[in-house]
Amino acid sequence: MESNDTETRRTKGLPFTRLGLGCAQLGGLFEPMAEADALALVDAAWDLGIRYFDTAPYYGFTLSERRLGAALRARPRDAYLVSTKVGRLMRPDATVRPGECGWAAPLPFRPHYDYTHDGILRSHEDSLQRLGLDRVDILYVHDIGRVTHGERHAHYWTQLTEGGGFRALEQLRAEGAIKAIGLGVNEWEVVADALDVCALDCVLLAGRYTLLEQASLAPLMDRCARAGTAVVIGGPFNSGILAGTNKFNYEDAPAAVVERVRTIAAVCRAFDVPLQAAALQFPMAHPAVVSCIPGAQNIAQLCQNAHWFDEPLPASLWAALRRAGVLDPNAPVPAA
């Protein structure tokens, strides 16, 4: 059942499989996932050759980390990469209810933002305990940014910079406790800000460099390529709008986005290409990108993603998308 997903792209000595697994669904994003199904999903990803797994304390309010660790614990530790995130401390809270923050059946822990030096170190240690692993390979600062925090952004940004959050990450990297540091965000602008103050190894950018939108191309993606900062593509379907749902940025898609997707879909149909295949393959052409990590709600969806990821696509498709005005003329495109 193995495919080209086993091909790796190396950065900072880390072998990323081109296709990874985003593990938000292990935490029950929008829909519940049974424990046995979560473990089977990771096993199926392994059988497909996937060796990069991304999780976070926030996913299912610690549920995803616990399940991923259980699924990987018997595997040879040097055979895979795990990334998790810092920026939220999870505190016990019996008032947590099903459906909070989109998690169908979250565990009784409530997130509290903390980007300080001590908060980062505590978050890292807590994640190791939940995962049951002796190390994680990559730590991403989770959901820092103006869109996320609004008027509180300056406060949290100060925690990360003057408050020593970045210093804690650099300390962990220097000690060898982790191999790489970065940001895991939905906003490309804050990544550009972070690159001015910290030597990031990699970035997990969700939804901001996709077949639907490429505004980050020149100001960030090309900058990362020049600097040797690896980019992991999260949210390649823009929360589902590129995979057949009406969700964009986790909400109902606005009319302008729906219309743009209709144009993209029409071009794909003209070439008898699944829209999802084009969405998964497009960002991989950029030289900064090392992996794409769509999630999956079940094994069938996981296998379908892997098939779309490897499906041969005609070079003429990309030219047609450019003519339709939905693809940046400077964006690198996959070779046929």
Is the pLDDT at 76 greater than 90? The verdict is yes
Q: Give the pLDDT band of residue 2 (cuts 50, 70, 90).
A: very low
247 bridge partner residues: 252
Is the pLDDT at 336 greater than 70? The verdict is no
Q: Give the pLDDT band of residue 7 (cuts 50, 70, 90).
A: confident
Is the pLDDT at 146 greater than 80? The verdict is yes
Is the pLDDT at 28 greater than 70? The verdict is yes
Q: pLDDT tens across 191-215, in order?
A: 999 999 999 999 999 999 999 999 9
Is the pLDDT at 250 greater than 70? The verdict is yes
Q: pLDDT tens across 275-304, in order?
A: 999 999 999 999 999 999 999 999 999 999
pLDDT value, residue 3: 44
Enter the pTM of the model: 0.95
Distances (CA, A) of 132 to 42, 67, 68, 70, 247: 16, 10, 9, 7, 34
Q: pLDDT tens across 161-185, in order?
A: 999 999 999 999 999 999 999 999 9
Distances (CA, A) of 86 to 39, 89, 160, 232, 267: 24, 8, 11, 17, 40
Percent of the chain with pLDDT over 90: 93
139-151: average pLDDT: 97
Could you tell me which of 269, 289, 265 has the C-alpha nearest to residue 279?
A: 265
β strands within the chain, DSSP E: 8-11, 14-17, 21-22, 52-54, 81-86, 88-92, 109-113, 138-142, 180-185, 202-206, 230-234, 247-248, 251-252, 289-292
pLDDT value, residue 1: 36
pLDDT value, residue 335: 87
Residues carrying an active site annotation:
54, 59, 85
